[in-house]
Amino acid sequence: MPAITALSLRIAYVAVGLGILVGALAFVRSGALMIAAGTALIALARRSQISRRRRIIECYFPLAIAATLFTLALALPKGL
């Protein structure tokens, strides 16, 4: 797996912020997809900083939430 750089972390934070903005402007599906992708990348980047015994809650739980949000965004009905 390639290393997650500081640039990719900045892109992830921008994706989350832009996803919130896009979602507030009534493009909920696109916003949710951007938030899910950014959150998953941030959780993967933090994975190497977390000690072994605490990895389940602090790493896999945010990944599960991001995967669920991604699935939910794909299942949303088409809007306007």
What would the mean pLDDT of 44-50 be, rounded to a whole number?
Answer: 74
**Nearest-angstrom CA–CA distance, 58 and 69:** 17
pTM across the whole model: 0.80
Q: pLDDT category, 2, cuts 50, 70, 90?
A: low
Condensed to tens digits (0 to 9), the pLDDT of residues 24-34 reads 998 888 999 99
What is the model's pLDDT at position 62?
86
